[in-house]
């Protein structure tokens, strides 16, 4: 997994878009969740309202330093591809807008055993904003696809 966000962790925490609460309505059990590649803990904090225990991991110490503490959330420095959890630990494993940085050949074999039977693995992300204003959307598309595209890492294409 690449660490592209440690140098601007405080800005990342301030400007990162959130996720809708309904995203996790598909879970059937709410004991333990793993927010893998948590960044600054946005999803972990959302999960804390529904799950009893959340493990929130990231490879960036700076990202974790910018996370807000919560009594239900345990933050730790761990790579997605080598977690330190017992088998059948989690009702939910969630990766928010980060899976494209993973080594999938290493991640899936590590994630599968730590998920409880019937648990949910959710790789979630978001796309470009839409404003329902054609001229403005054309400008955003040009900026993203015409100007900034050459600065994105190749993995970003998976999003």
Residue 12 lies in a domain: no
pLDDT of 64: 94
Residue 92 lies in a domain: yes
Same domain, residue pair 118 and 148: no
Same domain, residue pair 90 and 56: yes
List CB contacts of 108: < 8 A, sequence separation 6 or more.
none
Same domain, residue pair 136 and 116: no
| Count of domains observed in the chain | 2
Distance CA 145, CA 65 (A): 33
Distance CA 50, CA 138 (A): 39
Q: Which domain holds residue 112?
A: 30-124
Residue 10 lies in a domain: no
Distance CA 49, CA 45 (A): 7
Residue 73 lies in a domain: yes
pLDDT of 86: 97
Which ranges in the chain belong to alpha helices (H)? Answer: 9-15, 42-47, 61-65, 104-114, 134-141
Cα 149 to Cα 1, 5, 105, 127, 146, distances in angstroms = 21, 18, 26, 14, 6
Residue pLDDT tens, the chain, 159 long: 556 555 555 665 565 666 777 777 888 999 999 999 999 898 999 999 899 999 999 999 998 998 999 999 999 999 999 999 999 999 999 998 888 778 889 999 999 999 999 999 999 877 777 788 888 889 888 887 888 877 776 666 666
Residue 11 lies in a domain: no
> Residue 56 in contact with residue 38, Cβ under 8 Å?
yes
Residue 147 lies in a domain: yes
Residue 43 lies in a domain: yes
pLDDT of 99: 81
Same domain, residue pair 107 and 137: no
> Residue 57 in contact with residue 77, Cβ under 8 Å?
yes
Residue 22 lies in a domain: no
Same domain, residue pair 119 and 140: no
Same domain, residue pair 95 and 146: no
Same domain, residue pair 92 and 155: no
Q: Is the pTM of this model over 0.95?
A: no
Distance CA 67, CA 90 (A): 21
Given the DSSP bridges, would you call strands 53-58 and 115-124 parallel, antiparallel or unpaired?
A: unpaired
């Amino acid at each position: 997994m690449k660490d592209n966000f440690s140098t601007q962790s405080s800005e990342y925490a301030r400007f990162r878009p959130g996720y809708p609460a309904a995203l996790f309505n598909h879970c059937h059990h709410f004991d333990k969740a793993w927010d893998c590649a948590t960044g600054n803990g946005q999803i972990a904090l959302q999960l804390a309202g529904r799950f009893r225990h959340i493990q929130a991991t990231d490879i960036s110490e700076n990202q974790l330093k910018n996370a807000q503490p919560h009594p239900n959330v345990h933050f730790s420095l761990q790579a997605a591809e080598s977690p330190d959890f017992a088998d059948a630990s989690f009702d939910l494993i969630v990766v928010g807008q980060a899976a494209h940085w993973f080594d999938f050949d290493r991640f899936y074999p590590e994630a599968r055993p730590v998920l409880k039977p019937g648990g949910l693995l959710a790789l979630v992300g978001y796309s470009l904003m839409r404003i329902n204003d054609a001229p403005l959307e054309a400008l955003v598309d040009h900026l993203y696809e015409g100007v900034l595209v050459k600065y994105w890492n190749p993995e970003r294409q998976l999003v």
